[in-house]
Amino acid sequence: NVVADDGSFTSGPPGSAWTTYTETFAAVGDYPYYCALHGGPGGSGMSGRVLVREGTSSGDEKVFLPLVYPPD
């Protein structure tokens, strides 16, 4: 699952089944997130960021973020 560093979004509780999750970002900004089981806020472990920039939109943009475990 994913959780926003600031708690503004979450994909729900962790689970063992493969799932998809959709989030809409209405404002330009930097949205850091992390895996609740394998990461932490501030870029620790399994984490990432969605950078939303100004521009034109067709309204159907999608970003697929593969989950990759950090090296041991």
Q: What is the mean pLDDT of the chain?
A: 82
Per residue in 7-33, pLDDT tens? 999 988 887 777 778 888 888 999 999
**Total Cβ atoms within 10 A of residue 2:** 21
The residue ranges of every structural domain in the chain are 2-52
Give pLDDT, residue 19. Answer: 75
The DSSP bridge pattern shows strands 44-52 and 2-4 to be unpaired
